[in-house]
């Protein structure tokens, strides 16, 4: 008997079947993608309809650019994330300046004093310095535009421009002489690494030459920060520096790579930081042992203006027991932003894509009602200052920062903590000096402040809120005083009566002449 299964002929589809199946599969994929695409496009339908109706029939003339900016900004606001923002094309140059520390201009630090632009200092290797601009110069005019009453943004807009183009500035020097200087604009690379005072066009990074205590102030983290840090440390090595104050106060952050590089400079092992995205995926950076690692005793100064990349550095060195953190709790920004340019020059999106975590695994973000955020000072190193105290120390510090002629620099005793306390009015820097002196002389850290904790942080915030209320009340008092002045200047009021004697209104006596001019002429004597 034959085996039916063996004798059955196997049907063959021929060579055409595989291509047909591939085509059918491709059609299904396209249909699926098309449906998803239609869903994406339908999301825009109400926006398009509203825009069309407004452009066609609104009584006012719509500003299409503003409508677009508002639509994008409104969409991003729903994320409840202040760090995800769209930068329109008109603001990209300012954003680029902040992110990269690079811009085209004359190269000078400025301020507004008595409604006039004043030069705090020309920058090193800048066209302003080469043209003869000096610290303390009052800028009277920029290309024939009087600076009286202009704010700093308006002045900056006049000073910046196309690389290689000249700008004429009329200045009054500190000695009273006036001059018109022509400055040729060029690209300025601002430095993020500064010292305690100027040394010619450069910086002096030594606080105490005898004990060998150095000082570096980082204003932000850029792609060039690590090179500038290495230059400063090489100079301090040549001067015999054995301990370091790293000042991160008011440093709002910058690039993640810059923070990792700086932290790695003072670590030979250990985790620096890790980042995780929405799905919990991410990566971790660890320190590498290098010949240029500097393992000297360190104090890092921080305050509530120290954020993001500053907190990465402070937290990494604190968690790895490489530095004492002195000052007050930091700002609390533990999110990572990516900068993505939009196609066709439609602006730039700065978007939060992940959160970063300290070596101890804690995220720094200050969110909701969280009681713990940021980086706290070490126990015994909490020294909290109010807004007025910070204003004074910044103003006093600036006396030693301008580039001035040889012999014109102010005398200073940065090796004396008492002098720093009294003259600079900087108790945090003075405390850092005292504890580093103790560490170098006795190998023990001197307790110089209070212990951080929920009660201390709450007390600090309460004091800040009281100070804020005081400033508001002072402004309100000024406004009330001005109202009284205007009311008093109005003088006596005149009653206006109808022919039957009914009071129909009152006007200030100062406006009586104007009212008489409006009355019809009469032949009757008054």
Report pLDDT digits (tens) over 191-218.
Answer: 899 999 988 888 999 999 999 999 999 9
Residue 114 lies in a domain: yes
**If 0-12 CB within 10 Å is exposed, 13-18 middle and 19+ buried, where does residue 6 land?**
exposed
241 and 351 fall within a common domain: yes
236 and 182 fall within a common domain: no
**Domain at 205, CATH number:** 3.90.226.10
Task: Look at residues 163, 189, 215 and tell me which one is the last residue of a structural domain.
Answer: 189
Residue 88 lies in a domain: no
221 and 324 fall within a common domain: yes
Mean of the pLDDT values across residues 495-522?
62
Q: Residues with catalytic annotation?
A: 308, 319, 333
384 and 403 fall within a common domain: yes
Mean of the pLDDT values across residues 112-121?
89
Q: What is the count of structural domains for the chain?
A: 4
167 and 268 fall within a common domain: no
Mean of the pLDDT values across residues 54-67?
91
Quote the mean pLDDT of the chain. Answer: 84
Residue 52 lies in a domain: no
Residue 82 lies in a domain: no
Q: Per-residue confidence at 487, pLDDT binned at 50, 70, 90? A: low
Task: Look at residues 189, 220, 249 and tell me which one is the last residue of a structural domain.
Answer: 189
Q: Are strands 213-218 and 206-208 parallel, antiparallel or unpaired?
A: antiparallel
Q: Per-residue confidence at 44, pLDDT binned at 50, 70, 90? A: confident
- pLDDT for residue 472: 78
- pLDDT for residue 207: 96
- pLDDT for residue 94: 75
Query: Taking a C-beta distance cutoff of 8 angstroms, is the pair 163, 104 a contact?
Result: yes
- pLDDT for residue 214: 97
Q: Per-residue confidence at 142, pLDDT binned at 50, 70, 90? A: very high
Residue 309 lies in a domain: yes
Residue 275 lies in a domain: yes
378 and 478 fall within a common domain: no
Mean of the pLDDT values across residues 389-411?
83
* Percent of residues, the chain, with pLDDT higher than 70: 80
Task: Look at residues 425, 450, 475 and tell me which one is the last residue of a structural domain.
Answer: 450
Q: Give residue for tokens 């409508």.
A: 67
- pLDDT for residue 11: 47
Angle at which helix 45-57 crosses helix 64-77, to 10 degrees, equals: 150
- pLDDT for residue 13: 45
* Percent of residues, the chain, with pLDDT higher than 90: 51
Residue 127 lies in a domain: yes
The phi, psi pair for 372, rounded to 5°, reads -125, 130
Q: Which two tokens stand for residue 50?
A: 């509203």
Q: Per-residue confidence at 300, pLDDT binned at 50, 70, 90? A: very high
Residue 367 lies in a domain: yes
Query: Taking a C-beta distance cutoff of 8 angstroms, is the pair 333, 367 a contact?
Result: no
120-125 contacts, C-beta under 8 A, 24 or more apart: 120/398, 120/401, 120/402, 121/198, 121/401, 121/402, 121/403, 122/403, 123/188, 123/190, 123/191, 123/403, 124/191, 124/201, 124/202, 124/403, 125/201
416 and 465 fall within a common domain: no
Mean of the pLDDT values across residues 68-92?
89
- pLDDT for residue 520: 54
Q: Is the dihedral of CA 232, 234, 237, 242 positive or negative?
A: positive
218 and 275 fall within a common domain: yes
Mean of the pLDDT values across residues 240-266?
95
514 and 457 fall within a common domain: no
Q: Per-residue confidence at 145, pLDDT binned at 50, 70, 90? A: very high
pLDDT higher at 383 or 464: 383
Q: Which two tokens stand for residue 95?
A: 């954003």
Q: Per-residue confidence at 488, pLDDT binned at 50, 70, 90? A: low
- pLDDT for residue 429: 98
400 and 512 fall within a common domain: no
411 and 508 fall within a common domain: no
379 and 261 fall within a common domain: yes
Give residue 152's domain range: 102-189
Distance CA 8, CA 4 (A): 6
Could you read off the pLDDT of 406-444 as tens digits, one per residue? 666 678 899 999 999 999 999 999 999 999 999 999 999
Cα dihedral 307, 308, 313, 318, rounded to 10, equals 70
Q: Per-residue confidence at 102, pLDDT binned at 50, 70, 90? A: confident
């Amino acid at each position: 008997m034959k085996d039916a299964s063996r004798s059955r002929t196997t049907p063959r589809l021929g060579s055409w079947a595989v291509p047909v199946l591939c085509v059918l599969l491709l059609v299904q994929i396209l249909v699926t993608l098309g449906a998803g695409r239609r869903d994406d496009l339908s999301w825009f339908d109400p926006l398009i309809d509203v825009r069309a109706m407004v452009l066609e029939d609104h009584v006012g003339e719509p500003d299409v650019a503003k409508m677009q900016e508002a639509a994008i900004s409104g969409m991003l606001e729903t994320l409840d994330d202040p760090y995800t923002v769209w930068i329109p094309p008109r603001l990209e140059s300012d954003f680029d300046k902040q992110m990269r520390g690079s811009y085209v201009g004359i190269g000078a630090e400025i301020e507004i004093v008595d409604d006039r632009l004043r030069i705090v200092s020309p920058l090193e290797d800048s066209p302003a310095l080469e043209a003869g601009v000096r610290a303390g110069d009052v800028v009277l005019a920029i290309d024939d535009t009087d600076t009286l009453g202009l704010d700093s943004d308006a002045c900056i807009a006049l000073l910046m421009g196309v690389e290689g183009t000249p700008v004429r500035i009329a200045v009054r020097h500190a000695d009273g002489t006036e001059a018109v200087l022509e400055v040729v604009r060029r690209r300025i690379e601002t430095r993020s690494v500064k010292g305690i005072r100027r040394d010619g066009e450069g910086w002096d990074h030594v606080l105490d030459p005898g004990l060998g205590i150095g000082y570096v102030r980082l204003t932000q983290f850029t792609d060039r920060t690590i090179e500038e840090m290495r230059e400063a440390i090489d100079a301090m090595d040549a001067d015999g520096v054995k301990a370091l104050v790293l000042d991160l106060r008011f440093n709002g952050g910058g690039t993640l790579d810059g923070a990792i590089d700086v932290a790695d400079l003072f670590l030979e092992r250990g985790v620096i930081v890790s980042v995780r995205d929405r799905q919990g995926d991410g990566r971790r950076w660890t320190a590498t042992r290098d010949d240029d690692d500097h393992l000297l005793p360190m104090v890092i100064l921080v305050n509530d203006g120290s954020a993001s990349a500053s907190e990465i550095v402070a937290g990494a060195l604190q968690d790895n027991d490489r530095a004492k953190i002195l000052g007050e709790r930091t700002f609390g920004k533990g999110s990572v932003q990516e900068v993505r340019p939009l196609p066709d020059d439609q602006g730039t999106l700065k978007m939060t894509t992940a959160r970063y975590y300290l070596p101890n695994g804690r995220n720094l973000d200050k969110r909701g009602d969280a009681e713990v955020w940021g980086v706290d000072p070490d126990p015994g190193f909490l020294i909290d200052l109010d807004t007025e105290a910070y204003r004074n120390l910044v103003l006093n510090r600036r006396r030693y920062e301008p580039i001035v002629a040889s012999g014109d620099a102010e005398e200073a005793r940065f090796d004396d903590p008492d002098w720093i306390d009294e003259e600079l009015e900087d108790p945090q820097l003075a405390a850092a000096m005292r504890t580093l002196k103790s560490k170098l002389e006795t190998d023990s850290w001197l307790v110089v402040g209070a212990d951080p904790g929920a009660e201390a942080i709450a007390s600090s915030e309460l004091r800040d809120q009281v100070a804020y209320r005081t400033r508001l009340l002072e402004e309100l008092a000024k406004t009330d005083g001005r109202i009284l002045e205007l009311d008093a200047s109005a003088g006596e009021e005149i009653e206006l009566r109808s022919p039957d004697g009914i009071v129909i209104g009152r006007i200030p006596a100062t406006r009586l002449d104007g009212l008489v001019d409006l009355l019809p002429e009469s032949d009757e004597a008054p």
